[in-house]
Amino acid sequence: MSTPQSLPSDSVGYVEPASVHFDEALSLESGHTLSGYTLAYETYGTLNADRSNAVLVCHALSGDHHAAGYREGERKPGWWEACIGPGKPLDTNRFFVVCSNNIGGCHGSTGPTSINPTTGEAYGADFPMVTVRDWVKTQARLADHLGIETWAAVAGGSLGGMQALQWAIDLPERLAHAIVIAAAPRLSAQNIAFNEVARQAIRSDPAFHEGRYAAAGDQPATGLMLARMLGHITYLSEAAMGAKFGRERRGEPNDYGFHYDVEFEVESYLRHQGQSFVDRFDANTYLLMTKALDYFDPAAATGGDLATALAGAKARFMVTSFTSDWRFPPSASREIVRALLDTNKPVSYAEIRADHGHDAFLMPVPRYRSVFTTYMQRVAAEVGA
């Protein structure tokens, strides 16, 4: 086992996942019902005596509940290590941070790879579609379970930010702040188009078996790899990709290979990203998550008027975007901000200059950390953390 010899001092250190099973049935937006479900989660920091310092972190498309710290035997920390830990924006010396794996996921919460109690076999393609609203419901039950009446903040980037927004709409009394980072009030046609190509790549893979690949002892590895390669292009800005790889090639600088093996460094990167994803992610989950993204549109219920949709929200908002993010660009965040202002909600907005593209929300970008830290210090002071 190769564990890091010493962990960074601003890390929460070694972490263990927890899980809780809920027996109460859950009605989903799709009309289906789950008779019960499990949520896997992690927590960092300590819940204070009056239970006022809890922050819910929501994960994005391919994330899970391992948001910070190190698992025994793993070298890579959680996905939001840049923002969770002692002295970081979500300061674990002050906050009790909770992150759960969304249902439909594949890392411990009930999802397509879980056993369907009515059949005794894995759900696979039979797992119902889930939406951002469904996730908010399940996370509220987790809050109940943990004895948290009101979150000091609900925070997330990308699809995680959409969950924070939905929390503010659906359960306005149960959060004081919504931290919405690199998100959008709804997907654009281009966003949906990329998701559709990814889904087609998975679903047209002969190893997909209409989603029953596990039962067939198979896996749509090729389709999932293609989906992830494509996703990665949209997570990075053109500039970041150019700076990272340019036209760098393997082999002699002035000699083209005239073959289809890896030649340019960016090809190598994408293939590696695609292949390693296949080892850790489930294709049915990927399909579900992309549909949850496509369907997210809280303004649809109010005739497309986001301000009206947000009118009942009581949270204060921090909205953040990154200049080079072309997946959910600043204009999408500004639309959220505008709707909040139109309905007289308190909102802080920061448009961070960063070259990393959409992935910037995962990175230790100094200005981003500084803005986020300042905001959360105010939240901590409010709740006496």
Active site residues: 158, 325, 358
Q: At what angle do helices 221-235 and 265-280 cross, to 10 degrees?
A: 120
**Tokens 């989906």, residue?**
227
Q: Does the annotation list 228 as a binding residue? A: yes
Distances from the Cα of 311 to the Cα of 105, 340, 377, 380, angstroms: 31, 8, 26, 26
Q: Does 75 bind a copy of itself (CB under 8 A)?
A: no
Q: Which is nearer to a copy of itself, 53 or 166 (CB)?
A: 166
Answer for which of 25, 115, 216, 300 binds a copy of itself (CB under 8 A) is: 300
Answer for which of 159, 187, 337, 365 binds a copy of itself (CB under 8 A) is: 187
**Any bridge partners for residue 157, and if so which?**
181
Interface with a copy of itself by CB under 8 A: which range of 7-15, 19-27, 173-181, 254-262?
Answer: 254-262
Q: How many residues bind a copy of itself (CB under 8 A)?
A: 57
As a whole number of angstroms, the distance between CA 284 and CA 117 comes to: 18
- Residue 350 is inside which H or E element, if any? strand 347-352
| Opening angle at CA 26, ends 178 and 168, nearest 5 | 15
Work out how close the CB of 132 gets to a copy of itself at its nearest, in angstroms, rounded to a whole number: 12
- Residue 233 is inside which H or E element, if any? helix 221-235
Among positions 197-216, residues that touch a copy of itself (CB under 8 A) are 197, 199-201, 203-204, 206
As a whole number of angstroms, the distance between CA 206 and CA 378 comes to: 53
* Residue 202 Rama label (left phi>0; alpha psi -120 to 50; beta): alpha
Q: Does 190 bind a copy of itself (CB under 8 A)?
A: yes
Q: Does 73 bind a copy of itself (CB under 8 A)?
A: no
Question: Which residue positions form the known binding site for substrate?
Answer: 228, 359
Q: Which residues are at the interface with a copy of itself (CB under 8 A)? A: 29-31, 128-129, 186-190, 192-194, 196-197, 199-201, 203-204, 206, 222, 225-226, 229-230, 232-233, 236, 238, 241-242, 244-247, 254, 256, 258-260, 263-267, 270-271, 274, 287, 291, 294-295, 297, 300-301, 326
